[in-house]
Amino acid sequence: VIDGLARADFVCFDKTGTLSESSLQVSRVELAPGFTGREAEVARWVEAAESGDPHPVARALVGWASGRFDGSATIDSLEREPGRGIRANLKEGIEIAIGGAAMFGRAQTAERKEGEGRAVFVEVNGEPAGRFELAERWRPGAADVFARLKHLGIESEILTGDPDPDRSDVARADWKAGLTPSQKQERVTELRASGRSVLFLGDGINDASAMSEANTAIAMAGGAQLAHAAAPAVFLGEDLAFLPAAITHARTVVRSIGTNIRFAAAYNAIGMAIAAAGFLHPVVAALLMVGSSAFVSWRALRTGD
């Protein structure tokens, strides 16, 4: 991980749960005319379909549904469309689909009104049932991390499945929106083929393949277990300012290791040549070796500080 951070010259970010906080909240619900007055039913179906999914959108919808209905619904089958949404069949004969605009062939730009958050749509038995708006907040440090990475000579890019994300607070970053998991992976493959050393930050199941493809990856603590398995490191905090600081420290550590190796190699080569020529007593050589190890250890400890 330290070596990967030190060598990284291109950083790819997921958006939801990575650049934005892992917790989303439903800010507004608009039920379709045919479902007006049936909020409890819709809540029960949504809770059944999304329960157990660690994605921030799913958690937000379950949080909204909780306490709005009595009883429960049982799932017969569930199909996930990574980066788009889910489709579930319930035992009571209900087919429910939950996802973004792209899943239903909608024009997200037209659906979103000024000042609104991310839109998630629900269809029941093929009929539009409702529209949920999710409030999304950027993590602390998200707006500045791109400038700090650029100062370190690192390019960055946001790869998101959201077809029309709110870019206002992180406008200084390059975006690729509406990507499927395979398209995220293809983008990382493309960057690596061009000679870039890629670091990927993500949190979802739909990020796992891209994270595995990157030179190194960091998963967010609140992310899916598959993302944790795909990444060699997990970030436990909230403030993204850790990233440029971690890269700077990793570069210092790697430089220190390189300097120590070169010093030790030269020191030993010179020492062996002098010893072979008969000018170095074995006891003196042993003491000099201890001194060399102490010096290298001191430099390593200083780097750790």
Is 169 among the residues known to form the active site? no
Residue 126 half-sphere exposure, CB side, CA atoms within 13 Å? 0
Length of the chain: 305
User: 10 Å Cβ neighbour count for 74?
Assistant: 8
In angstroms, the CA 262 to CA 272 distance is 15
Q: Are 156 and 13 in contact (CB under 8 A)?
A: yes
- Going from the C-alpha of 38 to that of each of 72, 75, 270, the distances in angstroms are 15, 20, 84
Which residue intervals of the chain are DSSP H helices? 2-7, 39-50, 56-65, 108-111, 142-151, 181-193, 208-213, 225-230, 242-276, 282-304
Buried b (16+ CB within 10 A) or exposed e, 106-124: bebeeebeeeebbbbbbbb
β-pairing, 85-90 with 75-81?
A: antiparallel
Which residue intervals of 1-93 are DSSP H helices? 2-7, 39-50, 56-65
In angstroms, the CA 81 to CA 276 distance is 69
- Write down the catalytic residue from 9, 14, 203, 305: 14
Q: Are 225 and 54 in contact (CB under 8 A)?
A: yes
Cα 289–chain centre separation? 46
Give catalytic residues, as residue numbers: 14
